[in-house]
């Protein structure tokens, strides 16, 4: 059986009365990229965010097998959003993700290039090397998901922060992990006091940070503002909705991987 991938549609329904956030078909679209990743639980939120923000430039630091990155590319393609996407990774691994061989990059490239090669670039270099390729304030959406020690993630944020435009958004994965030397939660606690922010607790935690007031007129900004302005009760509803969607996506990915493996 082939899975039908749903194009982004104009039809949306309100998440709940009084929370200015809607969901469209994109939030329910199955992941085309099938791989094992803790990120599969955040795919519905990422697709929601990209559909609302319509970033001109999206950069991901840390792509590995490509769950989060391909979800972004899938959304851009399905929605015909004019986004240039860049994935930065050595594709060698690190102390937290584990070290791996060239087959990971080859597998990602075989999936990525025919589908997304027209608007997306896989940059096989270190984050520090790649930083020189981006102009100040040129990035609308940055996802930081490299090595997760406090020192490493702070270095990545400090290095790349000048390249994010005022009002741009930075995502941090693993904000809820407090063992194995992970320190994203410490940086997140510092940053969330300074900038508009929202945190999801499921899927090891995802921090969403906005760097100051947005500049320019983005159609979906009202919904993004509603995320950052949510009161405590609204935050619970938003967290539950995306945790539910994320769990469904993770189970669907695992199920399709199992069936695909079984049919070979
Ligand atoms: C947690 S994984 C990324 C997970 C991915 N976002 C997903 O959806 O599953 C972290 C990746 O960051 C890469 N990485 C870590 N530090 C790096 C650095 N300084 N420069 C380039 N790549 C790095 C590793 O090679 C690894 O593939």
Crossing angle of helices 103-116 and 67-79, in 10° steps, is 10
- Length of the chain equals 264
Q: Can you give the pTM of this predicted structure?
A: 0.95
Render pLDDT for 74-121 as a digit per residue (tens, 0 to 9). Answer: 999 999 999 999 999 999 999 999 999 999 999 999 999 999 999 999
Candidates 91, 76, 71; CA nearest to 206 is: 71
pLDDT band at 161 (very low <50, low <70, confident <90, very high): very high
pLDDT band at 16 (very low <50, low <70, confident <90, very high): confident
For residue 3, what pLDDT is reported?
Answer: 46
C-alpha of residue 152 to centroid of ligand 1, in Å: 11
Render pLDDT for 178-232 as a digit per residue (tens, 0 to 9). Answer: 999 999 999 999 999 999 999 999 999 999 999 987 776 677 889 999 999 999 9
Q: Is the dihedral of CA 84, 88, 91, 95 positive or negative?
A: negative
Look at residue 61 and tell me whether its pLDDT is greater than 90: yes
Rounded CA gap, 157 and 151, in Å? 10
Pocket test for ligand 1, best of 90, 132, 181 (most atoms within 8 A of CB): 90
C-alpha of residue 106 to centroid of ligand 1, in Å: 16
Which residues form the pocket of ligand 1, taking CB atoms under 6 Å from any ligand atom?
A: 37, 39, 62-65, 67-68, 88-94, 97, 126-127, 145-147
CB 153 within 8 A of CB 190: no
Look at residue 1 and tell me whether its pLDDT is greater than 60: no
- Which atom of ligand 1 lies at the shortest distance from residue 91's CA? 25
C-alpha of residue 263 to centroid of ligand 1, in Å: 31
Question: What Rg, from alpha-carbon coordinates, does the chain have?
Answer: 17
For residue 262, what pLDDT is reported?
Answer: 66
Lowest mean per-residue pLDDT among 46-60, 125-139, 163-177, 212-226: 212-226
For residue 192, what pLDDT is reported?
Answer: 96
C-alpha of residue 216 to centroid of ligand 1, in Å: 31
Render pLDDT for 130-144 as a digit per residue (tens, 0 to 9). Answer: 999 999 999 999 999
φ, ψ at 44 (rounded to 5°): -60, -35
For residue 26, what pLDDT is reported?
Answer: 84
For residue 9, what pLDDT is reported?
Answer: 52
Which residue, judged by its Cα, is nearest atom 9 of ligand 1?
A: 37
Pocket test for ligand 1, best of 89, 99, 142, 203 (most atoms within 8 A of CB): 89
Which residue, judged by its Cα, is nearest atom 5 of ligand 1?
A: 63
Residues 24-211+219-259: name the CATH superfamily.
Answer: Vaccinia Virus protein VP39 (3.40.50.150)
């Amino acid at each position: 059986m082939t899975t039908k991938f749903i194009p982004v549609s104009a039809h949306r329904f309100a998440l709940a009365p009084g929370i200015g956030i809607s969901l469209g078909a994109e939030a329910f679209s199955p992941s085309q990229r099938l791989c094992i990743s803790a990120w599969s639980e955040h795919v519905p939120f990422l697709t929601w965010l990209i559909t609302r923000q319509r970033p001109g430039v999206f950069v991901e630091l840390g792509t590995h097998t490509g769950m989060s990155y391909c979800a972004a590319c899938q959304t851009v393609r399905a929605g015909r959003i004019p986004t240039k996407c860049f994935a930065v990774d050595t594709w060698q691994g690190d102390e937290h993700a584990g070290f791996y061989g060239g087959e990971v990059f080859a597998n990602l490239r075989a999936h990525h290039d025919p589908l997304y090669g027209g608007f997306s670039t896989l940059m096989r270099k270190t984050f520090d090397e790649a930083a020189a390729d981006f102009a100040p304030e040129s990035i609308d959406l940055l996802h930081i998901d490299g090595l997760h020690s406090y020192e490493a993630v702070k270095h990545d944020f400090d290095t790349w922060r000048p390249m994010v435009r005022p009002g741009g958004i930075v995502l941090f994965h693993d904000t809820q992990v407090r063992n194995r030397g992970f320190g994203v939660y410490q940086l997140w606690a510092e940053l969330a006091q300074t900038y508009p922010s929202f945190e999801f607790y499921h899927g090891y935690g995802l921090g969403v940070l906005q760097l100051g007031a947005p500049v320019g007129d983005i159609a979906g900004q009202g919904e993004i503002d509603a995320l950052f302005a949510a009161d405590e009760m609204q935050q619970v509803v938003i967290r539950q909705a995306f945790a539910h969607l994320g769990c469904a996506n993770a189970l669907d990915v695992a199920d399709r991987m199992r069936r695909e493996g079984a049919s070979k």
